[in-house]
Amino acid sequence: MKSLKNWDFKVKRNPIEYRKLLKLKTQLGIPVDKRSCHTMVMKDGKFIEGHVPAEGIKALINSKAKGVYSPHGFRSASGDFEKVYELIE
């Protein structure tokens, strides 16, 4: 979250119970095979799933996609953002 704030994104953390989070992911339409440990929801209802780089978030904002995700990899395992992302239509 600190890195997102460094990119001038406003971030508000909302703790949520695990079962409610799973239900929310389903309601948002996040495919099961794209789910990650980090889920963010934008004010317009679009989702960000995983360690998505700023470029991926900007691509989502400028698209009609319903979300963006980054696959879990070496970079996110060390707490960094992945370089790859995929828009979810």
Which H/E stretch holds residue 70?
none
Nearest Cα neighbor of 54 from 14, 17, 85, 22 is 85
> Which amino acid, one-letter code, is at 35?
R
CA gap 2, 33 in Å, rounded: 27
Q: What is the mean pLDDT of the chain?
A: 86
Nearest Cα neighbor of 4 from 45, 42, 46, 44 is 42
**11 CB contacts (<8 Å, ≥6 apart)?**
1, 4, 5, 40
Look at residue 39 in the predicted model and tell me its pLDDT.
93
Q: pTM of the entire structure? A: 0.83
Q: Per-residue pLDDT for 77 more than 70?
A: no
What are the backbone dihedrals phi and psi of residue 29, each rounded to the nearest 5 degrees, phi first? 85, 25
